[in-house]
Structure 1
Amino acid sequence: MARVPGRRPLWLTVPLHAVLLVVVVLDARAAVFWGRVGGSLGTPVALAAGGIALLAVLLLAVDLRRQVLPGADPRDDDPAG
């Protein structure tokens, strides 16, 4: 069975997405914690943790879209077949 170029096999994609979800959860918890700490240290760390969590969610969404959605097959664009 031929794989579509640019897509990872499912056995590799699922663990990578699971790790990224763990990173999102931990960073969100860190952002909440440091936001409650506040002060001159807590606020910048909370903003950084929130930014990292947001970036991880965006990476997960883009990769999930690329891995799951059909129509990402570059062979469909080739008229020669």
Structure 2
Amino acid sequence: MSRARGLRSLWLTVPMYAVLVLVVVLDVRAAVFWGRVGGSLGTRVALAAGVIALLAALLLAFDVRRQLQLARDLRR
């Protein structure tokens, strides 16, 4: 029997968001560093770090939006 997908508890959500924000910050820093290093390898690694940071930021934004919508629906 599957559990209904709903609002996650706060003790699980806040640490997950903190980890995702940390991943975004570290990947942006890595992208800047490798972008300054330059060369063929530096450019590729900077691009990869930028893509990972973008994906993590999008995941965070979509999940925050979903959790807020679920919380709003539960109040009604």
Common topology (TM > 0.5): yes
State, as a whole percentage, how many aligned pairs show the same letter: 71
Give the length in aligned residue pairs.
Answer: 70
Structure 1: runs of 5 or more not aligned: 77-81
Deviations 1:9-64 (A, max 9, x none): 01100000000000000000000000000101000000000000000000000000
2:50 maps to 50
2:34 maps to 34
- Normalized per residue, the structure richer in helix is 2
Structure with greater Cα Rg:
1
| Runs of 4 or more above 3 Å deviation | none
- Work out which structure has the larger RCO, using CA pairs closer than 8 Å and 6 or more positions apart in sequence: 2
C-alpha separation in 2, matches of 1:46 and 1:13: 29
Q: TM-score, normalized by length of structure 1?
A: 0.79
Q: CA RMSD in A?
A: 1.7
Structure 2: runs of 5 or more not aligned: none
